[in-house]
Amino acid sequence: MRPQIVTKITALLFFLSSSLMLGQSPSASSSPPPPPQRTPIELPIDSSIYLLVIVGVIFGLYYILKLKKSYK
């Protein structure tokens, strides 16, 4: 008797949950709202790229000199 009750309750919950998932409100059938017309301010990415390259070269030279001193 117990396995039959569990099977029936499981089937009932399965069918009820699937019908709830497929049910949509009338407003959901319409298209989504349009995106906002204001776009965020764009930030320049490569305006100071030369500064970043210079700092990278200096750091690389510092690291190489530090390694050479540690081997001596």
Which pLDDT tens digits describe the chain residue by residue (72 residues)?
Answer: 688 999 999 998 888 776 666 666 665 556 777 777 887 777 777 778 889 899 999 999 999 999 998 887
pLDDT of res. 48: 82
pLDDT of res. 17: 77
Distance of alpha carbon 58 from alpha carbon 62, whole angstroms: 6
User: CA of 62: how far to CAs of 33, 50, 51, 68, 71, in Å?
Assistant: 55, 18, 17, 10, 15
Distance of alpha carbon 18 from alpha carbon 12, whole angstroms: 10
- Write down the pTM of the prediction: 0.39
pLDDT of res. 65: 94
